[in-house]
Structure 1
Amino acid sequence: MPGPLPDGEPMPPDGALPASALNTVGARGFGVYVHVPFCASRCGYCDFNTYAPGDLPGWRPEGYADTVLAELELAARTLGDAPAVDTVFVGGGTPTLLPTGDLGRIIEAIDKIWGLAPGAEVTTEANPESVTPASLRALRSAGYTRVSLGMQSVAPGVLRVLDRKHSPGRAAQAATEAREAGFDHVNLDLIYGTPGESADDFAASLAAAIGAGVDHVSAYSLIVEDGTRLAARIRRGELPQPSDDVAADRYLAAEAALTAAGFGWYEVSNWSTTEAGRCRHNLLYWTGGDWWGVGPGAHSHVGGVRWWNVKHPASYAQRLADGVSPGAGREVLTADDRLTEDVMLRMRLASGLPLDVLDPAGRAAAERARADGLLTVDGDAAVLTLRGRLLADAVVRDLLP
């Protein structure tokens, strides 16, 4: 079931934003996130706002795109003359459970409302078993430029613990099919540190991802979230708690293997073979850009105002049918809030954090971190070292007021 929403003030029924926010839309880029909260089954580690068929009796994917289009129309009324869209990211859930034609209609609507900027990045996530060569060709023809596939592992035992349904080799096969369909940019997601995963298991997963010929790999340490089946199994003693030391070893293995294969890190958990292969939509988040988040539970940020939609698909659809914003609440970020987020997010990037955003105490902390080998200074920016990446959260805490 959906978890608690953040605290915040009520969202105006018409979704109106303060003039101060509207005056700066797109100053650091403008994107659209579309959440598709449906999965064929729920993975044991997942706490995202997603629903399997048994959670929503009678649900059919064919009607969801119309609800998305209704929120896009609300967004058009709210933002007015917003800049062209630099990036679109359709995430989930499993977006590719929707009919391919509906995924195309969503992109057409975004282009009609705001216009896609020349060379816009348009990404969809996909589970490996939810795509075919034909559907990938159709997605490419509909304007999608990038696909991100949930690989997680090639070890059968790890996939079983994570409750993944695809076969060990399916993700790499789907990546090959995506490249053959015309996608220049293909990502594979990996998860490391799963209970029972061996060093050889993770090495095999890295080798399979690299061998698939993709230009982007994301690798994330498993986080055990309260309320998930995985957390319950660990609490009952069926599985061991993931080890921080093992996670650090896995990260170092990922860095070594991916660097040797021609990938370079650009964010703590993300590597690409070229600058063009970096996920520009995620960079929009990490550098303080603006985006409208469409769908149940989706979060948005425009000009220092953040808001979030109601989480249940039925409530979300009903609000839009009633002509009311689906926003459940919002917060207007203070200057201190925005500084904290800027430091937290940009410090994770290979481009680093400009030192001039820090106060004197923060700059002194940066110098101590440099002396300790946790960061370097590249021009006027602080950049994490490999050791610093392993301790990124601690480094950031020291830099903040």
Structure 2
Amino acid sequence: MRDDGAVVNRQAPERLSDHALAAFGAVDVDRPFGLYLHVPFCATRCGYCDFNTYTAGELGSSSSPQSWMEGVRRELDAAASMLAPERPVETVFVGGGTPSLLGGDGLAELLDAVRDSFTLAPGAEVTTESNPESTSPEFFDRLRSAGYTRISLGMQSAATHVLSVLERNHTPGRALDAAREAAAAGFEHLNLDLIYGTPGESDADLAASIDAVLSVPVDHVSAYALIVEDGTAFARKVRRGEVPMPDDDVLAARYEMLDARLSAAGLTWYEVSNWALPQTDSVCRHNEAYWRSDDWWGIGPGAHSHVNGVRFWNQKHPATYSASLAGGALPIAGQEMLTADDVHTEAVMLRLRMRGGLPVSMLDDAERARADVAVAAGLLVVASDAYVLTDRGRLLADGVVRDILD
């Protein structure tokens, strides 16, 4: 126990602490609530990925989509029993891993499992990530009829040699065809993911990738700088000198190119790495909930949750996860009660990344003084009583946050 009385248990308790349960009981039922469902399966492992995913060879006979689904159903029931039954789910996000490996019927069954335990709010946003290679027109038709409202496709690049460096197993054109198929099935909300700064990528490669994205009916684009994560195959290649570390100056220039081209096409940044058409329903409401520190329950192996200042996370391995639930225990690997300082730090870190900015009222006098230094340096502006990153400030967002929090 910390000296502030908060409980931090990083072992594997079979239940949430009494502190956590008390916090659950004090939840405002009108506070936005979402569900994240983690599908841990992948056909192959991309060299840069450090997500909690497993190929069939890595799992062997220890786990299967069937045992995972049984665990998910049990966790959904447990979550619903611990929260106010009248509290509707406003957003659902199915991520991974590769959710599309479940097929259209499998993802429909997953959404049915959500409905069996929870009530979806009218107009709920329901998103699934998909690998272009495991989709088809029939797949998208099935998702649309099941009640999904939003599709996020992993494209990463239109350059074959860039995909090769990333160890992605799809062809550049397949992501574009998948987007068209999803639109033909009736999906109005489509996202394509890009990764920029991959060693060997040129300015022309990224420009071609952006042009390709804009050639299909997407209303949302997410673009992330390549990060070398410890423990990945890509990190080992960098360490051995087989590929260079991404260059910070190159990453900054590529980001400026992305922002300029997407803005010219009518997509507006609403978070540092995300752009959407101006319609309100084009933004990803589920991700906005993360950045606002709303409540969500993460279902599945390794999934993280946040409910009324309580953060907890699940056991990572699918077999351990399912076995815990089959034995009547929550699959909790750890939990933490956030202090007031924790909540404040996260609010500064996350709100400042959003276009709406960080309300001036959220900072104390010393922090406002440091934020005003960033204003003088051209990194922030004050708009509608909030500190908002300038174009240059977005390139240095992490540093701006550190300076404000000192």
How far apart are 1:98 and its partner, in Å? Answer: 1.0
Cα deviations by residue, 1:35-76 (Å, 9 ceiling, x for unpaired): 001100000000000001110113543443222111101111
- 1:335 equivalent in structure 2: 340
Backbone CA RMSD of aligned residues = 1.4
CA distance in 1, matches of 2:318, 2:372: 48
CA distance in 1, matches of 2:12, 2:328: 14
CA distance in 2, matches of 1:283, 1:26: 19
Cα deviations by residue, 1:246-280 (Å, 9 ceiling, x for unpaired): 00001000000000101000000000013211000
Name the SS of the counterpart of 2:302 in structure 1.
coil
| 8 A Cα contact 1:21 1:304, kept in partner | no
How far apart are 1:212 and its partner, in Å? Answer: 1.2
Task: Give matches, 1:18-37, under 5 Å.
Answer: 18-37=21-40
| 8 A Cα contact 1:28 1:284, kept in partner | no
| 8 A Cα contact 2:29 2:84, kept in partner | no
Name the SS of the counterpart of 1:34 in structure 2.
strand
- 1:304 equivalent in structure 2: 309
**Matching residue's letter, 2:362:** V
**Matching residue's letter, 2:53:** T
How far apart are 1:127 and its partner, in Å? Answer: 0.6
CA distance in 1, matches of 2:192, 2:322: 32
Task: Give matches, 1:71-220, under 5 Å.
Answer: 71-81=75-85, 83-220=87-224
**Percent identical residues:** 58
How far apart are 1:120 and its partner, in Å? Answer: 0.3
CA distance in 2, matches of 1:333, 1:28: 17
- 1:280 equivalent in structure 2: 285
CA distance in 2, matches of 1:178, 1:293: 26
- 1:326 equivalent in structure 2: 331
| 8 A Cα contact 1:307 1:330, kept in partner | yes
- 1:4 equivalent in structure 2: none
CA distance in 2, matches of 1:27, 1:232: 47
CA distance in 1, matches of 2:26, 2:333: 23
- 2:240 equivalent in structure 1: 236
**Matching residue's letter, 1:353:** L
CA distance in 2, matches of 1:289, 1:385: 26
The count of residues paired between Structure 1 and Structure 2 equals 395
CA distance in 2, matches of 1:82, 1:36: 27
- 1:376 equivalent in structure 2: 381
- Structure 1, 104-113 or 211-220: larger mean CA deviation: 104-113
**Matching residue's letter, 2:51:** F
Name the SS of the counterpart of 1:72 in structure 2.
helix
Name the SS of the counterpart of 1:337 in structure 2.
helix
Name the SS of the counterpart of 2:280 in structure 1.
coil
How far apart are 1:21 and its partner, in Å? Answer: 3.2
Task: Give the gaps of 5 or more residues in structure 2.
Answer: 1-7
How far apart are 1:10 and its partner, in Å? Answer: 5.0
CA distance in 2, matches of 1:26, 1:239: 50
CA distance in 2, matches of 1:260, 1:190: 17
- Structure 1, 174-183 or 96-105: larger mean CA deviation: 96-105
Instruction: Indicate which of 340, 343, 348 corresponds to 2:353.
Output: 348
| 8 A Cα contact 1:62 1:99, kept in partner | no
**Matching residue's letter, 1:152:** Q
Q: 1:247 to 1:228 in 2, by over 3 A?
A: same
**Matching residue's letter, 1:103:** L
Q: 1:189 to 1:26 in 2, by over 3 A?
A: farther
Q: 1:355 to 1:319 in 2, by over 3 A?
A: same
TM-score by length of 1: 0.96
- 2:49 equivalent in structure 1: 46
| 8 A Cα contact 1:26 1:290, kept in partner | no
**Matching residue's letter, 2:227:** I
Q: 1:10 to 1:44 in 2, by over 3 A?
A: closer
Q: 1:23 to 1:296 in 2, by over 3 A?
A: same
Name the SS of the counterpart of 1:285 in structure 2.
helix
- Structure 1, 10-19 or 216-225: larger mean CA deviation: 10-19
- Structure 1, 150-159 or 17-26: larger mean CA deviation: 17-26
How far apart are 1:11 and its partner, in Å? Answer: 6.0
CA distance in 1, matches of 2:316, 2:254: 34
**Matching residue's letter, 2:75:** E
1:222 aligns with 2:223: no
- 1:357 equivalent in structure 2: 362
- 1:391 equivalent in structure 2: 396
- 1:13 equivalent in structure 2: 14
CA distance in 2, matches of 1:29, 1:264: 24
- 2:5 equivalent in structure 1: none
**Matching residue's letter, 1:334:** T
- Structure 1, 141-150 or 99-108: larger mean CA deviation: 99-108
Q: 1:172 to 1:25 in 2, by over 3 A?
A: farther
| 8 A Cα contact 2:68 2:318, kept in partner | no
- Structure 1, 143-152 or 370-379: larger mean CA deviation: 370-379
CA distance in 2, matches of 1:241, 1:76: 45
**Matching residue's letter, 1:61:** P
Q: 1:110 to 1:35 in 2, by over 3 A?
A: same
